[in-house]
Structure 1
Amino acid sequence: MSGSGLAADRVARRLGGELVLDGVSLTPAEGSTVGVLGPNGSGKSTLLRVLAGVLAPSAGVVTVDGREIGDVGRRTLARRVAVVEQHADTQIPLTVRDVVGLGRVPHRRAWLAASADDEAAVAQALEQTGMTAKAGQRWQTLSGGERQRVQIARALAQRPRELLLDEPTNHLDVQHQFELLDLLTSLPVTSVVALHDLNLAAMYCDDIVVLDRGVVVAAGRPADVLTESLIMQVYNVKADVTTSPEGHPHVRFIRS
């Protein structure tokens, strides 16, 4: 994987005394979609939070255009990198448009009203995620899948260069999973996406990184990484890996 603006170099992170990430390096190519795979507890979410600057690495370094992420101002970083977490909730009675509008906060001075550019970014993000018709609806009335799409719209309204997403296809039906990943891979951004579904990763990711207990055990093109031996090693499941008519790996799990 070639260099890009956001990169991790031999990053480690301890949580509660436990080593959750151990020497992880990640340098996505500009404009690419990188999938982060691994079983529960492998460190996927922690890696995304370290990349976002939410957690500081215990060792190693995260850089943005060669600068250590800690030296980049929070406001500057928020304009640059957008994050979609697994779970988001609020008890404040916000509309869908209000939530998406939060993505414009890093671009505005405090207390100033939204500009025409802000309004255009929000409208575009709502349209991209298919949520325009629900713009005036209360956040609390939405289904889990709709909330996920609104959070992605908020991130898109930020107009980031890098987009970090933690299990964005959770709560979405198959059609919306495809629509979401079609959208993400069409955007002129660098995306790092934590995924559970190996076949979605094979279909949509330019590169994948596989974590196991905080260590990168494989990285590269899906066709090179998603092998039967790797799946057995990491997931302890037998699999039959073939090539789809579209040319990407297709994983079929085998019950023992």
Structure 2
Amino acid sequence: MTAPARAGEGLRAARVSRTAGGTLVLDGVSLTPRPGTVTGLLGPNGSGKSTLLRLLAGVLAPDTGVVTLDGRPLAGIGRRTVARRLATVEQHADTQVDLTVADIVRLGRVPHRRAWTPASSADEEAVRSALARTGLTDRAHRSWRTLSGGERQRVQIARALAQDPRELLLDEPTNHLDIQHQLDLLSLVASLRLTSVIALHDLNLAALYCDRLVVLKEGRVVASGEPADVLTEELIADVYGVRAAVTRPDPAGPPHIRFLGTLTSRAD
């Protein structure tokens, strides 16, 4: 008999491992995002960040360990049910069909509708709300193809919000965005107060916008906690092979990382 869902537990990964092509990509990773906070996933390329996000989303299944949603194994929950709770935003999104912004945001309502049924008034209200929350109301009828990279990422977040999720997973959403759009996008994610897990490369952005950090190296968790505790000069050297100076310009604020070069280069 399946145990009843425990509403307070949310999304969890317990000692998950995953092998791909004979290589161990994740090795016994556990993750328990705190409700309503932003958890940042850090680590160099190949450390397992994207694979962990795909396991959390149910796109991949762990070889060992388990991902649960409110205490129930994700593998035993229907995809439509999962999609009503959990939304994802990928690094890149494109379409071969000439859709408008509103059309794409409406895709977020698919898990809430029966097949071939028209959109309800509740669906349209969810779309309007998602457009408003992401500052896209005036772009609702614009073609996707005419949008900038930053605008496209906001549309993807609006689509995710239209799903009315409690958990939001984002895989390096700031890649290829200029500084202003990076800051705008992460400010938006932080303001949503959803349980968000976001893979990032920029350590300063992670320190600024994430409540907690989990650092991966070669598929294992090597550090987790608040940014000020995690982002040390020693950790950055060990995980990234880079010399850095870590300071706290504001004792109550996030740490700031200044990179000084690789461990094998001469000091500046």
TM norm structure 2: 0.91
Q: Give 1:121 shift.
A: 1.3
Alignment correspondent of 2:45: 40
Q: Output the CA distance in 2 between the equivalents of 1:143 and 1:189.
A: 25
Residues 186-197 of structure 1 mapped to structure 2, 5 A cutoff = 186-197=191-202
- Report the equivalent of 1:25: 30
Following the alignment from structure 1 to structure 2, what is the Cα–Cα distance between the partners of residues 35 and 244? 21
Equivalenced residue count is: 254
Counterparts of 1:240 and 1:183, CA distance in 2: 29
Question: Residues of 1 paired with 2:130 and 2:244: CA distance?
Answer: 38
Q: Does 1:225 align with 2:227?
A: no
What do residues 114-150 of structure 1 show as CA deviations (whole Å, max 9, x unaligned)?
1122111111211222222221122122222221111
Residue aligning to 2:5? none
Answer yes or no: is 1:144 the counterpart of 2:153.
no
Correspondence list, 1:78-227, <5 A: 78-227=83-232
Distance in 1, Cα, partners of 2:121 & 2:191: 25
2 CA distance for matches of 1:210 and 1:95?
38
Aligned to 1:54: 59
Letter in 2 for 1:222: P
RMSD: 1.3
Give distance in 2, aligned partners of 1:4 and 1:34.
Answer: 16
Segments ≥4 residues shifted beyond 4 Å: none
Distance 2:26 2:171 in 1: 16
Which residue in the other structure is 2:248 paired with?
243
For residues 198 and 4 of structure 1, the distance between their equivalents in structure 2, rounded to whole angstroms, comes to 28
* TM-score of the pair, normalised by structure 1: 0.96
3-state SS, counterpart of residue 61 of structure 2: coil
- Larger deviation, residues 134-143 vs 202-211: 134-143
Shift of 1:179: 2.1
Deviations 1:156-206 (A, max 9, x none): 111100000001122322222222222211223100000111011111111
Identity of aligned residues (%): 69
More deviation, 71-80/180-189? 180-189
Native 8 Å contact 2:243 2:259 kept in 1: yes
**Aligned residue type for 1:228:** E
Whether the 8 Å contact between 1:4 and 1:29 is mirrored in structure 2 is: no
* Cα shift at 1:24: 0.4
The match for 2:76 is 71
User: Could you tell which deviates more after superposition, 213-222 or 181-190?
Assistant: 181-190
Question: Is this contact kept in 1: 2:174–2:182, CA < 8 A?
Answer: yes
Tell me how far apart the structure 1 counterparts of residues 205 and 61 of structure 2 sit (CA, whole Å): 30
My pick for the range that moved more, 246-255 or 174-183, is: 174-183
Amino acid corresponding to residue 5 of structure 1 in structure 2: G
Q: For 1:244 and 1:109, locate their aligned partners in 2 and report how far apart those are by CA, in whole Å.
A: 53
Aligned match of 2:258: 252
- Of residues 139-148 and 70-79 in structure 1, the stretch that sits farther from structure 2 once superposed is 139-148
State how far apart, in whole Å, the 2-side matches of 1:242 and 1:217 are: 21
Matching residue's letter, 1:253: F
- Whether contact under 8 Å (2:9, 2:71) holds in the other structure is no
Unpaired stretches in structure 2, ≥5 consecutive residues: 1-7
